[in-house]
Amino acid sequence: MRAAHRPLLTALAVAATAVAGTVTAAVDAAPAHAATCYGYVGLTFDDGPSNSNTPALLSALKQNGLRATMFNEGQYAAAYPAQVRAEVSAGMWIGNHSYTHPHLTQLGQAQIDSEISRTQQAIAAAGGGTPQLFRPPYGETNSTVQAVEAKYGLRQIIWDVDSQDWNGASTDAIVQAVSRLTNGQIILMHEWSANTLAAIPRISQTLASKGLCAGRISPQTGRAVAP
């Protein structure tokens, strides 16, 4: 009887060893720890959302382990609410970028108020929460704009580095711009730039090589911090 059981026992032992090896391999394949972050930077994308550009941008960001702040225009948040929700689902943060992207410094206080307040409402109605960050179009601001921002509890966010993607910068130039970022700094990019979309994988690699991670922008300090 014992001799008859030996082949069976041997087979079971081999099977157990194989299973153990599989488990060990699975454990070994998992990263030991998350990437080390020696600092955080704020990746920002203006002028969305849209059905034509937002999905591809979100996919690229997620695939490359990046999170960003999306400064949405109110008119587009109202037109494409599903994309606002997609931004939230992808782990992005949403800021206010005015309703129609005008030169705010050329408007009166009531018009500025309308641009900001309608965008707050449109983003909230689309499921994007109530923004705490505001980026004035073209980076143009004055005391009147800032007074209206304060009324809605918004922190004004400009940028430290301009990728120049709006000005036809190449993918290489955009990656080079990202390489200039230091801890806490913010870069301006746009969701509609094909060169920016193409740069996403290299942006991730560039930040990792510098020990930097993509963070959120603090409403208290206006600087990039840990998510």
More confident residue, 62 or 3: 62
pLDDT in tens, 21-65: 433 333 333 333 346 899 999 999 999 999 999 999 999 999 999
Task: Please confirm, yes or no, whether 190 is among the known catalytic residues.
Answer: yes
Say what the pTM is.
Answer: 0.85
pLDDT at 35: 63
pLDDT at 89: 98
Q: Which long-range contacts (CB under 8 A, 24 or more apart) does 169-173 make?
A: 169/195, 170/195, 171/195, 171/196, 171/198, 171/199, 171/202
pLDDT in tens, 6-24: 343 334 343 444 434 433 3
Structure tokens at 4: 């008859």
Query: What is the CA 201 to chain-centroid distance, rounded?
Result: 13
More confident residue, 182 or 17: 182
pLDDT in tens, 96-140: 999 999 999 999 999 999 999 999 999 999 999 999 999 999 999
The type of residue at 117 is S
Structure tokens at 43: 């990746």
pLDDT at 182: 98
Which residues, in sequence order, are CB contacts of 36 under 8 Å at separation 6+?
A: 211
Among the options 46, 47, 97, 165, which is catalytic? Answer: 46
Among the options 47, 97, 165, 190, which is catalytic? Answer: 190
pLDDT at 130: 98
pLDDT over 90 (residue 223) = yes
Task: Please confirm, yes or no, whether 101 is among the known catalytic residues.
Answer: no
* Mean per-residue pLDDT of the chain: 89
